[in-house]
Amino acid sequence: MSKLLTERTSWQALQQHASQLKRVSLRELNQDPRRFQDFSRQANGFLLDLSKQHLTQDTLQLLYQLAQECQLDAKIAAKFSGARVNATEERPALHSALRLPAHARLQLDGQEIVTPIHASLDKMAALVAKLHARQWRGVSGYPITDIVNLGVGGSELGPLMATHALHEWRPQAAQHLNIHFASTMDGSQLATALSKLNPKTTLFIISSKSFTTLDTLSNANTALHWLEGSLGAHPSLKRQHFIGVSAHPERMQAWGIAKEHQLTLWDWVGGRYSLWSCIGLPIALSLGMAHFKALLAGAHQLDLAFQQAPWQDNLAVLMALVGIWNINFLGIHTLAILPYDGRLAHFPDYLAQLEMESNGKSVNTQGQTLDYATCPILWGGVGPNAQHAFYQLLHQGTQRVACDFIATAQRYQNIPETQARLHLQNQHQMTLANCFAQSRLLMLGDAAAPEPRPEAYRRYRGEQPSTTLMFESLTPFQLGALIALYEHKVFVQACIWGINPFDQWGVELGKHIAHSTQAALIAKEAETFDPSTQGLLAYCHAL
């Protein structure tokens, strides 16, 4: 058994350093005029500002030592080389391979994998082209106008987030296609969508890496019945109205997905890392293949920077280490993601899965129970809206919360020059001003106020650390880089904590015991359950 993290020299030095630094306020640290210069970096189209974090240069040096002791470089190299870093499932985690350019080469178990990756992109491109050209027709002969993605978790969150974020990038050819998402097990989103859709012109994507997820398969069966109810049991119904996306072609086959409408991914692509694969089909349908490839290229650029940049200029490494500092040494166990951009409305939810499903672990890769905290509770929302909702807690609540402010410097520069454009640009400026004002107030508290505020209830404590991440504008390329940046941040933290970020055993047992619970609900039996569950079942049985 190797040393537990907390026994490492650098860990203990960081603990000692934290106890000293806690005596210095964040407000005091920010009196240094060089603060921004010293704690901000520009790389890969981003400005990363860490100057509002509660740390000094010594903190960063000690964090680099910790990363060194945890062999971060070797772990990064192992991941990109295709080593089986997901040990509990005996798989590599090669989602970064999905973003390699066509001329690159990568071997996995003696097989070259970049060629099949690009063959899969080509198959996807052919389906996209057919739908964009209105050549895909339903069984009644009408071209498809509506596409419903049936998927959940990683098979929904990434495509939904990116499709929404890049909506302005839809090419002319995609304007006639409406993309919908339905994931909930109870069928509520699907029922709402179906009530507005025309079966003759609707196509469903059954998107499930495993092709066993009940939420998705039950939505797919409901969709099939809806089509049959309206169009009859036509022999080509499944062929013309369903595309399947999965790592299991045999399961798609068994469901009845036509071979040419099956898109496959690989078991080494984790669900929450799968938007780069054919799981990203809704993104490609909405934005076109060129923009989908720009998304991949942006992520690839970040992959290269992550592998090559020295730690002091490596954005993902810096974000990860600052997170470790906040969580493990300042005791801040929650992270709010606050995009000041309505297009990134789904980004906090996307990151919630990425971070919490990856790093919500309490045993290390050697099976030892950890005696230190790992993943923070991650939440958030569009910043300006959240100002009218939960910012009260950030400013005057009792707990310290770390925040990531995310904003674009420019907006609306490409829309036609009208009165509306001017107003929208003003709105953007107002949004940026709010972003900067809020992070400043969170840091300084009352010291940011123009005059003294004697009443206790009006006081702002300040001392809430935050990171500001900015980029020039939200393009497919930049969004790709942004997502990859957070992916790598999560990976670096896992390397330090010594955990496997690529499995998710904690979601299994609940699914399993739901089967027996459902059987009891139907059979009106409850004896074998605990008193609380018995009570809930009895309540339903009595109705």
For the bound state, the minimum distance from the C-beta of residue 508 to ligand G6P, rounded and expressed in Å, comes to 8
Other CB atoms within a 10 A radius of the CB of residue 69 amount to 15
User: Shortest Cβ distance from residue 216 to ligand G6P (Å)?
Assistant: 5
Contact footprint for ligand G6P (CB under 6 A): 152-155, 208-210, 213, 216, 271-272, 357, 504, 507
Catalytic residue among 103, 196, 388, 512: 388
State the minimum distance, in angstroms, from the CB of residue 280 to ligand G6P: 13
In the set 79, 132, 293, 357, the catalytic residue is 357
Distance of closest approach, residue 256 Cβ to ligand G6P, in angstroms: 18
Q: Is 524 a catalytic residue?
A: no
Compare residues 213 and 301 and give the one whose CB is closer to ligand G6P: 213
Distance CA 399, CA 44 (A): 34
Residue with smaller CB distance to ligand G6P, 49 or 357: 357
Helix extents (H) in 50-199 = 57-69, 72-81, 114-132, 157-165, 188-196
CA dist., res. 328 & res. 175, Å (int): 48
Active-site residue, 525 included: no
Instruction: Choose between 154 and 159: whose C-beta lies nearer to ligand G6P.
Output: 154
Q: What burial class does residue 463 get, using C-beta atoms within 10 Å of its C-beta: 0-12 exposed, 13-18 middle, 19+ buried? A: middle
In the complex, minimum distance from the CB of residue 370 to ligand G6P, in angstroms, rounded to a whole number: 21
Give Cβ neighbours of residue 82 (< 8 Å, ≥ 6 apart).
92, 94, 97, 106, 107, 108, 268
Nearest approach in angstroms of CB 300 to ligand G6P is 22
Nearest to 379 by CA among 335, 319, 343: 335
* Identified catalytic residue from 167, 225, 423, 511: 511
- b/e burial code for range 33-53 (CB count within 10 A of at least 16 → b): eeeeeebebebbbbbbbbbbb
* C-alpha span between 146 and 540 (Å, rounded): 38
**Active site includes 112?**
no
Nearest to 422 by CA among 411, 406, 434, 409: 411
Long-range Cβ pairs for the range 304-312 (8 Å, 24+): 305/43, 305/44, 306/76, 306/484, 306/488, 307/76, 307/77, 307/80, 309/43, 311/64, 311/67, 311/72, 312/60, 312/64
- Residue closer to ligand G6P by CB (options 153, 298) is 153
Give me the active site residues, please.
357, 388, 511
